[in-house]
C-alpha cells in the first residue's frame, strides 16, 4: 500500500507534465488543493474559473487521466477561484 505522499507526488507529476500544458494553452490553470481518501480536489483559476467547459475538462479529462495512472484516485472535484477576473470566453 502506497503512502499519501507517494500518491500526491504521482498526481502532481501527471498534473505538471500532462494536464497543465493543455489547460494553460487556453488561459486556465489548475492546481492540486488536496488528496484525501481517494478524492482529489483541484483549484481552478484563470480562464478555467467560470468556464462552462471546466466541468467537462475536470471530469472527462483530468479525472479520467488520474484514475487511469493513479489507481488510488476514485474521484476528482473542483473548486473555482471566486476572485478570478479572467474572461473565460474568447472574443
- Report the pLDDT value the prediction gives residue 37, as an integer from 0 to 100: 95
User: Is 85 domain-assigned?
Assistant: no
User: Is 86 domain-assigned?
Assistant: no
- Report the pLDDT value the prediction gives residue 34, as an integer from 0 to 100: 96
Which pairs with CB-CB distance under 8 Å and at least 24 residues apart come from 55-62?
Answer: 57/23, 57/28, 61/19, 61/22, 62/19, 62/30
Domain around 67: 4-80
- pLDDT per residue of the chain (91 residues) written in tens, 0 to 9: 899 999 999 999 999 999 999 888 888 889 999 999 999 999 988 777 777 777 888 888 999 999 999 999 999 999 887 676 665 555 4
CA–centroid distance for 53 within its chain: 13
- Report the pLDDT value the prediction gives residue 27, as an integer from 0 to 100: 83
Q: How many domains would you assign to the chain?
A: 1
User: Is 67 domain-assigned?
Assistant: yes
Which CATH number characterizes residue 9's domain? 3.30.300.130
User: Is 17 domain-assigned?
Assistant: yes
pTM of the model: 0.85
Amino acid at each position: 500500500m502506497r503512502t499519501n505522499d507517494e500518491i500526491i507526488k504521482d498526481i502532481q507529476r501527471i498534473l505538471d507534465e500532462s494536464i497543465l500544458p493543455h489547460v494553460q494553452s487556453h488561459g486556465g490553470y489548475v492546481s492540486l488543493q488536496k488528496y484525501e481518501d481517494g478524492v482529489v480536489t483541484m483549484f481552478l483559476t484563470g480562464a478555467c474559473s467560470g468556464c462552462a467547459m471546466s466541468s467537462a475538462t475536470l471530469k472527462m479529462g483530468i479525472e479520467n487521466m488520474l484514475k487511469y495512472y493513479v489507481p488510488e484516485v476514485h474521484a476528482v472535484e473542483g473548486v473555482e477561484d471566486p476572485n478570478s477576473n479572467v474572461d473565460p470566453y474568447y472574443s
